[in-house]
Amino acid sequence: MFSPSLGKLTSYKDGDLVIAVCKEKVLFPFKNIEKHLDMQVMDIGIYNGKRVVCLNLPHLEEGVSIRALFAEAELEVAHIAALASHLAWWRATYKHCPICAKPLKEHDLERCLRCEECGENFYPVICPAVIVLVVKDEKILLAHNTRFPSGRYSLIAGFVEAGENLEDAVRRELMEELGIKVKNLRYLESQPWPFPNSLMIAFAAQWESGELKPDGLEIEQAAWYAYNDKLPDLPPPGSVARRLIDGFITQHR
Ligand SMILES: [Zn+2]
């Protein structure tokens, strides 16, 4: 059982469980702490009665990607990895006040950093992104994004913009990238997506109107696929996209 803490910087103590983090890779538990005793670690929480501390390293030879952990590890271990990775990024990025540039200090009672000069608190940055399973006549929309590996198709996703609600973000992304309108939006699930600081929020929607016209900038190809069609290369297990696609196939089989 894991209970998170405030994420304060501290020193390693005998008996701590160490999670080593390097960008999108983690190693848990990390055993070679002796080489890094001069580095500060971050108190992440208590896991099965032991304190978990995060060591943010510039290089990590071993370790696995957090994406792989999402697919294969126990839910709590994936949660610890996602939290450690997100907080490590945040603490490495937020060292000085964005207003007056004075060094930020840890808040005593909350997981936030405080500028004593301005009196402002700075909380971990979380960037919401939406992802949507669009269905038309028992077929789902899959698209190839220019950032994907060759042949890979997935669901449409994008970041929520300032002043926008989640449903508007879904509608805007589909209109901008493919020129289609959807209806009957329904919330499905969400998942922390620490690459480095997102929260992925998943919706289902029904196609309403418009032909698929990929914008050529973000989306190169898009098509409707039935559950029993030969599917293209899909995102790896552990991602929200893959879980939604697999869920659609299982439901219709
Ligand atoms: Zn300040």
- Indicate whether 10 pLDDT > 90: yes
pLDDT score of 116 more than 90: yes
For residues 162 and 113, membership in a common domain is answered with no
CA of 121 to the centre of ligand 1 (A): 9
Asked whether residue 176 falls in the same domain as residue 114, the answer is: no
My answer on whether 164 and 117 are in the same domain is no
Q: Are residues 59 and 79 in the same domain?
A: yes
Whole-number pLDDT of residue 253: 84
Contact between residue 72 and residue 59 where contact means Cβ atoms under 8 Å apart: no
Distance CA 238, CA 81 (A): 13
What separation in Å is there between the alpha carbon of 40 and the centre of ligand 1? 24
**The predicted structure's pLDDT at residue 61:** 87
Domain, as residue range, for 111: 95-125
Average pLDDT over residues 45-74: 93
Q: Are residues 170 and 237 in the same domain?
A: yes
Give the per-residue pLDDT at 122.
97
- φ, ψ of residue 87 to 5 degrees: the values are -70, -35
Mean pLDDT of 73-100: 95
Is residue 239 domain-shared with residue 211, that is, in the same domain? Answer: yes
State the total domains in the chain: 3
Same domain, 159 and 232: yes
Name the CA dihedral angle for 163, 169, 171, 172, rounded to a multiple of 10 degrees.
80
CA atoms within 13 A on the CB side of 104: 23
Ligand 1 centroid distance, CA of 8 (Å) = 20
What mean pLDDT value characterizes the chain? 95
- Name the residues around ion ligand 1, CB cutoff 5 A: 97, 99-100, 115, 117-118
Distance 193 CA to ligand 1 centre (A): 29
Give the 3-state secondary structure of residue 177: helix
C-alpha 119 to ligand 1 mean position (Å):
7
The CATH number assigned to the domain holding 32 equals 3.90.79.20
pTM over 0.85? The answer is: yes
